[in-house]
Every structure is written in C-alpha cells, then in structure tokens.
Chains A and B, each alone.
Chain A
Amino acid sequence: MPQLLHPSFLRLGRRTAALILVLLGAAVVLVTGLARPADASDPYVAGSDATRAIRLAGPSAAVVVGRAVGHERLLGLGAVASRTVDRVVDRRGHRTYDEVTDLDARGRPVAVIRYGLDGRVLAATRLGWQPGTGRALANGTAAILAAVRLARSVGVSPVGRGVAQSRGANGWSVRWDRVAGGVPVPGDGLRLQLWEDGSFHGLVLSEHPLAARPATTIPAARAEATVGALLDRWIPAAARRDARIAGAALVWVAPNDTFEPTRPDAPAEVRRLAWVVSVRSSGALAGTLRGLEVSIDAGDGTLLGGDVLR
C-alpha cells in the first residue's frame, strides 16, 4: 500500500499533513525549476554549465532525426544503430540548436550533428580518430574540392575564397571566412575538417548578427592613436618601448571583457564594426606577452575589447 494512503498517514493532524504537502510542493518546484532549460536571458558565468540540454522525444525529435538520416549517409558517418535528440541552449554562444547524437550498436556515440531551429545544419563531427584508408589528398586544391562537395551535399554552399591548411596526420582544415559589406567577420563562416584522404571529420557554420554599420567610420590612424594612449597607460614605462603597434584592420568583432573585467564572461552575441589594432612585443616584455589585439569601435572610437597573445 502506498505510504501516503497508509492509515497512520491519514490519521495525521491537519497541520502535519499540510506541512508534508508544502514540503512535497517545494520539491516539485525545485525539480521543475532546475530542469528548466536556460534561455538567452540567463547569463553565462565561467564554471557554470556552458550548455544545457533537454531530451526531445516524439514528433519533435522525429523531424530532426529525419533530417539527420540523410545527412549521415551523405557525410559517410557509418552505421548508426540509434540516435538521441537534445534541444541545447548554448549559454555562452547565445544560441539554441537541436543536437542529434548517433550511437552504434553498443550505445557508443559515433557522430554528432547540430541543426538550427530553422533546420539548417550548423555543425557536424564524426567522433573518433579515423585518419581514413583512402589515398591522401594531393594538395590544398584537392582539399578545397573535397570540402565543397561535402558541404554542398548537406545543403551548405561555401561563399568566397576557400583556404586549405594542412594539419599533418590530422588531415586538412578548409575554411571560408565570412565577409559582410567587404569587411571580415572573424569566427564566422564555414569550416570543414577532413581526414588526410578527404573523408569527413567535422563541419561548423557560424553566422552572428551584426550591429548597424556606423554612419561614419573613424580613420585607422585615430584608432591607432587611441590604442597608443592605452598602451602608455597599460604598460609600465620601462617596458613601453617593447610594445609597438603593428597595424589596424577593419573587422566585425564580438565586444568582450578582455580589458574590462566587469563586463559579462561571454563575448557579446552581436558583432560590431571595429578597428582591431595589433600590438606586438619584443625584448623582455615578449617573455610574458607576445602581443595584443585591441578593438576600437569604428564609429565612436570607444574600447570594445580585444585579445591577448601570451
């Protein structure tokens, strides 16, 4: 007999029974609250879960699996015995996607395919160290051709000029960097990883939203002068001459907290037009700091963030 229907429980006083019900209610609230997936308004803090997932089932999972079945074959992902589908909230990356994990007959994950909520392929990887058994690709041109074929097979059309980079025994990396209005968007675009024989290893497609382009753009010289003044402040006088500005490039960047630790831990979702001023070091300073990239808003000249090369 269930304990809650046991005579001794039913004989409890009203206050005791009410207290028990309150405790159970609190537990339900706690569990449903913790199980609730995060949304975009839940800011990422380093050390907390970067992603949160809920398992999809039924018709919503079936739609995603339907897409994956065809793509697995086209990418040569091998025999799949079963699949799981999760709706994943990437709290640091400001995005939500459906992730299909392919499992072999023993329940081991063998591949992952991610779809945007609009059904587009966002990423895929064949898990494992599988350098391939075919003849090695002859050169970068062959790698680009293989990558184009694979990308198009899953409905992704490379845009612009492909660049192939040999990764030794790890195969090839082929990338098409996104360019918006003639300006590069670092981190955005299409990148494929191929094994040495041209077989598929990984694919990632990124396209972040861009802020409105400023009506007027400050000259590169002003951005460099701003960074020069910041370096005067940031670097002790004795080492200042070891840091020199190597150039400035107009790019779309994610504002971040590199020089302002009070900003959020995650880089901003929306990319802003900026002059990225490169700083290289020499002498004793290079022993700890190789260089910096300082992002200056191309519209108003304010500091947007940057990057550090240790």
Chain B
Amino acid sequence: MSDPGTRHRRWRPWLPPLIGLIGVVVLAAGPVATRPVAAAYQATADSNETAFEPPCMSWDDPHPERMLTLATSGLAALGYDVKGYKGAAFTRAHVLSRTIGDWSYYVHSHGDYYWHSGDQRRYSGFREDSGDCIQSVVFSKDIKEKRDGRQTNLVVISTCENGNANTTMPGAFGIAKSKAGELDWNGPKFYLGYLGEAYDNDEEEFEVTFWDALKKGKGVGPAFDLAMLGDFTHSSFDADWWGSYVWSGRAGPGGTCPSCQ
C-alpha cells in the first residue's frame, strides 16, 4: 500500500499542465466578451411557427424556428436568461405573463397596426401562435398595461409594420421614439422594428448580421448599421431603431455612454 502523502505528491507535477490545459480550453471556447455571463435578467423570445406548418399550411416553413434560434442564441450571449417559445406555448396570455419580468423581448410573427374595437382606435401589435390557426392579436396596449413603466433593455419586433413612424410598440416597453447618437444617452435600451411589409428572407438576412455583431461585442448601433449592409431582395425593405446607439446590448440596468464622458 502506498503512503497517501506520497500519492498526493505524485499528482503535484500534474497540476501546472492540467491548469494550463483547462485555461487553454476556456480561452479557446471564445472571447470573454461574447461568453454568457451569469444571468439574472429575464428575456423572452417568441416565434409563430404554427401559421406556417400543418395544420394551418401543409408545408413546414423553417424561418420561424431558425429566427427563434438566432434570437435566443444572441440574447444568451448578451447575458440574458432567455427562454424561447413557439407553438402552443406562445400565447397572448404567455406574453402578458412573461412581459412583467422581461428585460428583453423578441418576437417573430405577423404584425400590423390593428384595429382595437374596444378602444375604437388602432394600436401596433402582433399575433400569438397558440398552436392552432386562430391567433389572437397581442396589442401594444396590453403589454404597456402589464409592464407599467418597467425598464426594458433590448426589444426586437420581427414583424411587418412595427418599425413604422406611427408604431405604438416602443412605448409599450417604455422606449421613447428618439435616437441618442454618439454623444447622447437614452439609457440601456434599444428598439428595432421593420417598416411596412417585410419578407422573411430580408428579415433573416438582417437579423443574422445583427445578432452576429452583438455576439461579437459590437454594440446595438453598430450592429444595426452593419445589418443594413445586407443583400436585401426587396427594394422596399427597411428597418428603424430608437434608443441609445452606443449601448452594448448587455443585460441589466447598467451601461453607460462611453463617448459622453
């Protein structure tokens, strides 16, 4: 039987190379800036897939799932505790329940400036999935009431019409429709939406670059500008933003304007 002390000493020379090996593997896993941090900031990503697969359609459109993957991957890299929902899990009730705790929100669905019969006026909104072919509208008004002024970080409304000048969706998340450039600061928040009718291929072309740039630590404004360099197949495609250009996109109430000091 070997002496425990001797056995312990036999392992000592292993420690430096093993520590080095672990260090090398951690470094190889990616730059520190793009690795998810310990997250306490809830984010929700919803995507309407049922409208574009059986039973509502007999083909299975891959855009909704793929764009959900892009969003959840991007938000996780920014430090959000993100959960993705689609199908029967993405309902109006689910959106309004989760939004109370959301620091960030992403949705890919059918969007418009919908008539609200109760208020006899229009609000911006988008449709739930609900796992069936009858899909209720989630109005900006509904979200605004639930959030009640709660602070928001990043909001990406991947639908038609929700980047229009008259959209009421940013206000639902407490984001004013104003742009803070290099020497200004609207707080750690950013809203992204598309103007008019936007096809899925163009939205995906934009979002692939947007999320990729955010994951690489470029910040929300540069990510938007880089995404606008895409090869959009419809000449009418356009996107707009409101919030702070210089914000990093990282989760939480912090963040500063690095160029304001």
Contact = CB atoms under 8 A, between A and B. Distances in A.
Interface of A: 3-4, 6, 8-9, 12, 16, 20, 23-24, 26-27, 30-31, 34-35, 46-47, 49-51, 92-93, 106, 108-109, 112, 123, 125, 127-130, 163, 165, 167-170, 173, 175, 177, 186-188, 193, 201-202, 204, 206, 208, 233-236, 253, 256-259, 261, 265, 267, 287-290, 293, 307-310
Interface string B99-135: 0000000000111000000000000000100000101
Interface in B221-261: 221-222, 225-226, 228-236, 238, 240, 245, 258-259
A46 B69 contact: yes
Contact of B208 (A26, A92, A125, A206): A92
A287 B48 CA distance: 13
A187 B127 contact: no
A308 B200 contact: yes
B160 A290 contact: yes
B62 A310 contact: no
Interface string B156-188: 000110000100000000000001111000000
Given A46-B66, A188-B231, A293-B199, 17 more contacts: A8-B13, A16-B13, A20-B14, A46-B67, A47-B70, A50-B208, A51-B212, A112-B222, A169-B179, A233-B58, A236-B56, A259-B59, A288-B51, A289-B51, A290-B197, A308-B52, A309-B197
Given A108-B259, A163-B235, A186-B233, A129 B182 contact: yes
A307 B190 CA distance: 28
Contacts of A187: 231-233
- Interface centre among B10, B21, B199, by most chain A C-beta atoms within 10 angstroms, is B199
B60 interface: yes
B245 A129 contact: yes
Contacts of B60: 261
B63 interface: yes
B149 interface: no
Interface of B: 9-10, 12-14, 16-18, 20-21, 24-25, 27-29, 48, 51-52, 55-63, 66-67, 69-70, 72-73, 109-111, 127, 133, 135, 159-160, 165, 179-182, 197-201, 208-209, 212, 215, 218, 221-222, 225-226, 228-236, 238, 240, 245, 258-259
A206 B13 contact: no
A6 B133 contact: no
A264 to B, nearest CB: 10
B17 A20 contact: yes
6 contacts: A24-B21, A27-B20, A30-B24, A257-B62, A288-B51, A310-B200
A164 to B, nearest CB: 11
Given A50-B208, A50-B209, A293-B199, A129 B179 contact: yes
- Interface centre among A12, A106, A128, A129, by most chain B C-beta atoms within 10 angstroms, is A129
A50 B216 CA distance: 11
B234 A186 contact: yes
Contact of A109 (B180, B181, B222, B231): B222
Contact of A128 (B48, B110, B208, B221): B221
B110 A204 contact: no
The 3 A-B pairs of least Cβ separation, nearest first, read: A129-B181, A186-B233, A187-B231
Contacts of A49: 212, 215
B226 A128 contact: no
Contact of A287 (B59, B135, B233): B135
A225 B61 CA distance: 22
Contacts of B226: 112, 125
Given A187-B232, A206-B231, A258-B61, A167 B238 contact: yes
B24 A288 contact: no
Contacts of B222: 109, 112, 127
A256 B208 contact: no
Nearest to A112: B226
B53 to A, nearest CB: 9
B199 A236 contact: no
Contact of B13 (A9, A106, A125, A170): A9
B57 A234 contact: yes
Given A308-B199, A309-B199, A12 B13 contact: yes
B228 A31 contact: no
A206 to B, nearest CB: 5
Contacts of A233: 58
B241 to A, nearest CB: 9
A81 B13 CA distance: 47
A296 B181 CA distance: 45
Contacts of B69: 46-47
A47 B67 CA distance: 9
Contacts of B70: 46-47
A138 B205 CA distance: 32
Contacts of A16: 10, 13-14
B110 A127 contact: no
